[in-house]
Structure 1
Amino acid sequence: MALKVELKPGEKLLVGNCIITNSEQRTRLFIEGQAPILREKDILTPSTADTPAKRIYLAVQIMYIENNTDVLRQEYFSLINDMVTAAPSTTAIIDRINNDILTGTLYKALKSAKQLIQYERDLIENAAIRRPSLPADGQDS
């Protein structure tokens, strides 16, 4: 069964190592075969991978696009070790990503890595809410 992808005007799609850019009309594509496929909104670049979870996602994304888990293995393990050390509560999500990588379901690993990005965002927002505010002049009252 073919994968059906609908593209908005101007939207980009990665298929294998090729970028497909849609014209000015909505388009429906049916893709058959085995190739990595990512929508533009799901693609991170080194410049947009600006948090630890996004850097993990980027490493998994490269593994997925290259269809090679060895390509960033050492960097990936360094990133996940740093993440678990800084935020032990991420262990369950990291374990899911690792399991997806080990079973060769790299697209599923990307989805799990997206959950890690959202979890990281939630942790940061909760930390900002709980942070006590300092007096305006920086002096303790």
Structure 2
Amino acid sequence: MPLKIELKPGERLLIGGASIRNGPRRSSFVIETVTTFLRGGDIILESEADTACKRLYLTLTVLYLAEPTPEAEDLFVRQANALMAAAPSMAPYLRDIHDRLAEGERYRALKRCRDLIQYEQSLADRLASPGEPEP
């Protein structure tokens, strides 16, 4: 079934390995074949991956957009293990991400990693304000 996508001016879209950026006007197009893609809001650039969870998200992006390689899968495992060692409270998120990958649901793994990035930010916020009680 074809999928119609509308892009805002300047919005980015990744389709497979191709990066597309819309021009100055809103535009729409139709994807007629089954393929993987990410819209602008789901894309984290390498230069923006300034935390461990964002770097994990980049690895998951590679696993989602490209055919998974043993190297990318090994990198995911190493990153996940390092995160779990540093912050054991991240284990439920990492387990969910791993389970999604094992089930072949790579986009859902990406979405769960967005939750992990938010959790990582909440931990950083708490460390920055140690005197405040937890919500």
Q: Quick check: TM above 0.5?
A: yes
Q: Is the 8 A contact 1:69 1:101 kept in 2?
A: no
Q: TM-score, normalised by structure 1?
A: 0.84
Q: Is the 8 A contact 1:63 1:71 kept in 2?
A: no
Point out the more displaced range, 108-117 or 44-53: 44-53
* 1:54-69 alignment runs, 5 A limit: 54-68=54-68
Partner of 2:92: 92
Partner of 1:48: 48
Deviation, 1:71, is 3.9
Cα separation, 1, equivalents of 2:71 and 2:65: 10
Deviation, 1:123, is 0.7
Give SS of 1:117's match. Answer: helix
Can you give the 5+ residue segments of structure 1 that lack an aligned partner in the other structure? 133-141
Can you give the 5+ residue segments of structure 2 that lack an aligned partner in the other structure? none
**Alpha carbon RMSD of aligned pairs, Å?**
1.8
Give SS of 1:61's match. Answer: helix
* 1:57-136 alignment runs, 5 A limit: 57-68=57-68, 70-130=70-130
Query: Alpha-carbon deviations, 1:2-49, whole Å to 9, x = none?
Result: 333221112121111222222222123332322110123322233221
Partner of 2:35: 35
Give SS of 1:130's match. Answer: coil
Cα separation, 2, equivalents of 1:117 and 1:44: 11
Q: Is the 8 A contact 1:11 1:21 kept in 2?
A: yes
Cα separation, 2, equivalents of 1:77 and 1:124: 23
Q: Which amino acid aligns with 1:13?
A: L
Partner of 2:12: 12
Give SS of 2:94's match. Answer: helix
Deviation, 1:95, is 0.8
Q: Is the 8 A contact 1:4 1:31 kept in 2?
A: yes
Cα separation, 2, equivalents of 1:124 and 1:61: 23
Whose helix proportion is higher, 1 or 2? Answer: 2
What is the number of residues matched between the two proteins?
Answer: 132
Q: Which amino acid aligns with 1:42?
A: D
